Amino acid sequence: MDPLSTTASIIAILQLSSDVVKYIIGATGATKDRRRLREEILACESILLQLQDHADDADEGTKWWEKIKALEGPDTPLYRLGIALQAVMAKLEPKKGLDKALSALKWPFDEKEVEKLISAMQREKSLLQLAMTNECRGLIREIKKSSHENTELLMELIQTIKDNATEDTGQFTKLNTILVEIRASQGDLKTYAGELRDQRVHLEQRTVLDWITPIDYAPQQSDIINRRQPGTGQWLLGSAKYQDWLKNDKQILFCPGIPGAGKTILTSIVVENLVTRFENDKNIGIAYLYCNFRQQDDQKAEDLLGGLLKQLAQGWSPLPESVVSLYGSHKDRRTRPSFDEISRALQSVAALYSRVFIVIDALDECQTTGGCRTRLLSELFSLQAKYGSNLFTTSRFIPEITEKFSTSTSLEIRASVEDVRRYVDGYILHLPSFVGRNPGLQEEIKNGIVKAIDGMFLLAKLHLDSLIGKRSPKAVRAALTKLPTGSEAYDHAYENAMERIESQVTGQKELAKQVLSWITCARRPLTTSELQYALAVEVGEAELDEENLPEIRDMFSERLRSNPLYDYAAHNWGHHAHEDMPPSQKVFGFLESKAKVEASNQALMAVKRWSGHFKYSQNFPRQITGLHLAAYFGVENLARFLLGSNGPNLKDSYGRTPLSYAAANGHEAVVKLLLATEGVEADSKDNNYGRFEG
């Protein structure tokens, strides 16, 4: 064997350890733990350098050549040391494409994790030290003797780190896959080989499912259901109409309601009821959607139908052939399936189940652009007619929607007295302490709230919020007599809320207004950490100062390694730019910065294209310009400005021009602008099988 290949693993581990040490030095906090871990890695480096010196001089067949061979490969100390270092790297390595201001990392390990990491490295270091003194047979004997225990401890360590992590666990899943491979060489080969095969199948299936759509409604379902009081919605679940819908095929239950009636909460209760009732029956499929007018870019007809397909397909292992075939026909060409293709696959998967339940919330918030709502309803009605699917949907009283369900069973959603009283019971602890000590006053509050809301559940929360600052039972009773009712109740309730905000001290008042502005203007719900970073942005500053992050209690992990708002900004800045006319100089500056455009594009295309390859920026188009992005988002004024300094035929690494992006995203005004530009190549082809762009 060539001596170079013999030392390749040692060199790789040395390079990895060097990178890890750099990240440790660059981290902040936990000085003692960082120093201990760094010193242990440097001690391992010292031994590795000595081993490398011997390996460089070793010829094949010599004692040192045999020792190095014994230290390398799977199920060896060198390999396990590399895995431990990869675990550290996975937690410390910053995401690419972010500003340097975000590269300062907060220490992501607790003291116990550091202790276990050091112990794992010391175990492997002791075996490496044996290579310096022992003959080869003794070394191999010691390696085999400790191999199983060391591997088990390392597996336990990485699992612990993974369980404690708040970030994407993809890298840790890969580490576990490697560890399973090591275990396969030790004990019951069939058991471990099966475990490895199952894990690989799961990863492959997850790649296909996330390719269909990266949108996952399960976290939203969990968030909504966790906000309801136990026992809520029993009036619906126990109703004759719901029971009939549940027990018979081809049923539609249409549940309209006024704004704020609690339709979304009741939808989550229906989903939970179905999942709980049929969780052990693999022949029953359940899929659900939460429509949101702020997420129109992620909820086109293809996205919504894809969401149903993804949920029904994930109930099968292996995945249905129609789904695998759909993925296979598009992945190499980097294309997306059409609505009709998704429809055929969905119907094929639905046919595999004996029964299918589909739940759609807020159909009124499903966009009408491009016939989205009409196409979705047509598909749902087709599934009902052909495959006996049951459909449950909620909506406001919109004539064109209610007309579609004129022949279906209908059940109006209103806030029931029992549900409101349960909600108030759960809210009491947020009210002044004297309320909790006064059962009579609690009953007065329940009766007052029930009387005032008139079926509008959202009003119950707003009215209860208005009681939080009251200082006496008399003040509470006075407020109860003045609770607004009727059609103007929401306006009065929100006015009262704003008055309470205005009465706060200046700093808190301004923070509250900023929070409301972000929540109101965001195109999708922001996570708490995204909101925190949004609030830290200072107008006029080119970089983000982490010392400006506001404190938000019980929500921010020390393991946060990058700007959580970055993903939202990359996907939505263009939509906000439509409303900023004329565009500000900062927008022009952003689009004229090659580095910022490239970084933003990577975050944008990573989600838009291959969620299975998420974060691997080299898999996505490079050489993107500001004009490409302006065309992608359809911002005509920006595109017109950038055409002054850029030609219309600039191509990215996939051979796509701005015209291609504008046309693909349906931005007619920008398409016309580009086609009217002198010298534009309207019939340009990209690099993928000579496909025409226009």
Q: Please identify, in words, the CATH class of the domain defined by 564-675.
A: mainly alpha
Span 204-243, pLDDT tens digits = 888 899 999 988 999 899 989 988 888 999 999 999 999 9
CA gap 230, 68 in Å, rounded? 63
pLDDT, mean of residues 291-309: 90
Collapse the DSSP code of 393 into the 3-class scheme (helix H, G, I; strand E, B; otherwise coil) and give the result.
strand
Residue-wise pLDDT tens digits, 532-586: 777 776 666 555 555 555 544 322 222 223 455 667 777 777 777 776 666 667 7
In this prediction, residue 2 has a pLDDT band, given cuts at 50, 70 and 90, of very low
Q: Which CATH superfamily is domain 218-410 in?
A: P-loop containing nucleotide triphosphate hydrolases (3.40.50.300)
State the pLDDT at residue 211.
92
User: Do 218-410 and 564-675 share a fold?
Assistant: no
CA dihedral (313, 317, 322, 324) positive or negative: positive
Domain spans of the chain, in order of start:
3-187, 218-410, 417-478, 564-675
Peptide bond into 256 cis (omega under 30): no
Answer whether 235's CB lies under 8 Å from 411's CB. no
Q: What is the pLDDT of residue 291?
A: 95
Phi, psi of 281 (to 5 degrees): -110, 100
Write the Ramachandran bin of 271: left for phi over 0, alpha for psi from -120 to 50, otherwise beta: alpha
Give the position of tokens 């295309």: 605
Cα four-point dihedral sign 70, 76, 77, 82: positive
Q: CA-CA distances (angstroms) from residue 528 to 297, 475, 524, 548, 604?
A: 21, 34, 13, 16, 21
Q: What is the 3-state secondary structure (H, E, C) of 201-233?
A: HHHHHHHHHHHHCCCCCHHHHHHHHCCCCCCCC
> How many other CB atoms sit within 10 Å of the CB of residue 430?
12
Q: Tell which wins on pLDDT, 314 or 150.
A: 314
Most confident range, picked from 42-51, 54-63, 622-631? 42-51
CA–CA distance, 417 with 426 (Å, rounded to integer): 14
